């Protein structure tokens, strides 16, 4: 099966055929560095990191660009609030962004350009648009004429006349059309500025990405990505200014990840349901967050809540427990010709089909949810063999070793399963224990009391202890070897 990608521009899945065989050129819009990143940023950059990894796994030579918008009204306002230089704000939050990305296992792109380092390229494109009549100067500002670009709104499938009629934009008499957008902004007193043919000023947001993508990837390239919220106006305006300047197609495949909802509501600072990556990582392991984000298809909306994060933590823990069980089984003395019966046959079948199934899922527009389902199937089959065969022979050990190798291999593609299993399980247990309202020593004391009550057939007291612990988030599991507890 060939790789198929959903193209926002055409509204359907298409076979992926790069401009240059064996090479992929990809640009993803980066952050405006004025604050710490939120969970929406985590979703976008985890999704495109996964895509970057899978393209490389598939044998492509990938050039991946992710920019920094390091000059913007928000950066200037934050600097003024704190009484520091705008550049200090930008550098500080570039550093914080990098810490968040490292924690989430997100690989560095090929290049990470900054807008302020590409002012000459920006000015050159704006001048070309002015010369062609696609842009005009008004008191030091330069605007793009949307009516001069016939394909405007082809990405978002909107209607220009309807938008003009109901446009909620500030009335600006300098604009020929209320939908015209800024390519260059004249500077106000005290603001950072660069010299240009239209006077001192700074670039508009949209033109920055056109200039940086074209510099590193050319006038036409393969993939442009970002969050769904960027379809309009940002990506729509990028298309208009780039194709008007160059007279050719700007991007062949437009990819957009879905929104993050918080407890089924749209994430918003005004609603008070806005979470930074740092806040989430105070409560959950970074790999749990990444696993959660990849557990849904990248284009689907995803509901961020404690329950779903807890489910993700439990799912990831199942994989790591399976890997730990495989490692433990491989350390046991080898038996001679012990039949694994149906469990062994099932594992052989699932292992043989696993690589093809993983690729089929990923080739279908990067369906990580289905890919992870195949991982769970393989882990369950391996656990069944380990449980049903008391002592493994060399062939069965080889089978389990191959399972571990395959999970590790796909883990490198997804950015998961990279920890030593025992280390991960201890790390998660430590986080859970640290967040408990009851000390482990007290739990053990109550377990001893409960065991004594059960021995004395005082089942009322036994149930009281169990229910009391459960109300504090501690679940008891009774088994033939005794009772163990876990954080619910």
Q: What angle do CA 473, 475, 481 make, to 5 degrees?
A: 155
Helix H or strand E encompassing 439: none
Question: For the chain, what percentages of helix, strand and coil (3-state, to nearest 5) are there?
Answer: 50, 15, 30
List the Cα angle 31/40/204 in 5-degree steps: 30
Strands 61-66 and 251-257: unpaired
Q: Do 150 and 163 form a contact (C-beta atoms < 8 A)?
A: no
Q: Residue 41, annotated ligand binder?
A: no
**Has 209 been labeled as part of a binding site?**
yes
Kind of pairing, strands 302-304 and 260-262? parallel
Please indicate if the annotation marks 238 as binding a ligand. yes
List, in order, residues 6 or more apart from 431 with CB less than 8 Å away.
284, 285
Does 305 count as an annotated binding residue? no
Helices (H), 364-390: 368-388
Residue 154 known to bind ligand = no
Rounded to whole angstroms, how far apart are CA atoms 116 and 109?
19
Q: Residue 39 corresponds to which tokens in the numbers above?
A: 């969970």
**Alpha helix locations (H) across 255-333?**
277-281, 286-294, 306-330
Residue 251 CA to residue 43 CA, distance in Å, equals 22
Would you list the DSSP string of 151-195?
TTTTTTT--HHHHHHT--S---TT-SSTT-EEEEEEPPTTS--B-
**Pairwise CA distance, residues 149 & 21, whole Å:** 31
- Residue 452 structure tokens: 């004594």
CA distance 467 to 472: 9
Binding residues: 29, 209, 234, 238, 269
Binding residues for Zn(2+): 29, 209, 234, 238
Binding residues for ATP: 269
């Amino acid at each position: 099966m060939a790789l198929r990608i959903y193209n926002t521009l055409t509204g359907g899945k298409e076979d992926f055929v790069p401009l240059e065989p064996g090479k992929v050129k990809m640009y993803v819009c980066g952050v405006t560095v004025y604050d710490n990143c939120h969970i929406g940023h985590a979703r976008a950059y985890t999704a495109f990191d996964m895509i970057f990894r899978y393209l490389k796994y598939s044998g492509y030579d990938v050039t991946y660009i992710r920019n920094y918008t390091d000059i913007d009204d928000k950066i200037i306002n934050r600097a003024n609030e704190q009484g520091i230089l705008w550049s200090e704000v930008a550098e500080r939050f570039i550093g914080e962004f990098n810490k968040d990305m490292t924690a989430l296992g997100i690989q560095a792109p090929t290049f990470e350009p900054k807008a302020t380092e590409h002012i000459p390229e920006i000015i050159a494109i704006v001048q070309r648009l002015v010369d062609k009549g696609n842009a005009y100067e008004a008191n030091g500002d330069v605007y793009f004429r949307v009516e001069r670009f016939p394909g405007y709104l082809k990405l978002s499938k909107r209607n220009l006349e309807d938008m003009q009629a109901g446009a909620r934009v500030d009335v600006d008499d300098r604009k020929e059309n209320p939908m015209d957008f800024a390519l260059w902004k004249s500077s106000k007193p005290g603001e950072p500025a660069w010299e240009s043919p239209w006077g001192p000023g700074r670039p508009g947001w949209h033109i920055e990405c056109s200039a940086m993508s074209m510099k590193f990837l050319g006038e036409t390239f393969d993939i442009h990505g970002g969050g769904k919220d960027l379809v309009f106006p940002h990506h729509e305006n990028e298309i208009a200014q780039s194709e008007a300047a160059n007279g050719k197609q700007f991007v062949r495949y437009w990819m957009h990840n879905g929104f993050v909802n918080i407890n089924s509501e749209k994430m918003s600072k005004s609603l008070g349901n806005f979470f930074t990556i740092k806040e989430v990582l105070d409560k959950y392991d970074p790999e749990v967050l990444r696993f959660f984000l990849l557990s849904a298809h990248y284009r689907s909306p995803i509901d961020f809540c404690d329950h779903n994060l807890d489910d993700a933590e439990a799912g990831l823990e199942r994989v790591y427990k399976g890997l730990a069980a495989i490692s433990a089984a491989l350390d046991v003395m080898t038996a001679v010709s012990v039949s694994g019966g149906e469990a062994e046959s099932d594992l052989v079948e699932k292992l043989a089909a696993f690589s093809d199934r993983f690729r089929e899922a990923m080739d279908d527009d990067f369906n990580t949810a289905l890919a992870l389902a195949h991982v769970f199937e393989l882990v369950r089959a391996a656990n069944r063999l380990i449980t049903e065969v008391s002592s493994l022979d060399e062939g069965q050990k080889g089978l389990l070793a191959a399972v571990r190798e395959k999970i590790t291999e796909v883990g490198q593609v997804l950015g998961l399963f990279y920890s030593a299993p025992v280390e991960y399980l201890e790390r998660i247990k430590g986080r859970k224990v640290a967040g408990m309202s009851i000390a482990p020593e007290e739990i053990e004391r109550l377990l001893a009391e409960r065991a004594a009550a059960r021995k004395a057939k005082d089942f009322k007291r036994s149930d009281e202890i169990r229910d009391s612990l459960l109300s504090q988030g501690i679940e008891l599991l009774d088994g033939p070897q005794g009772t163990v507890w876990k954080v619910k």
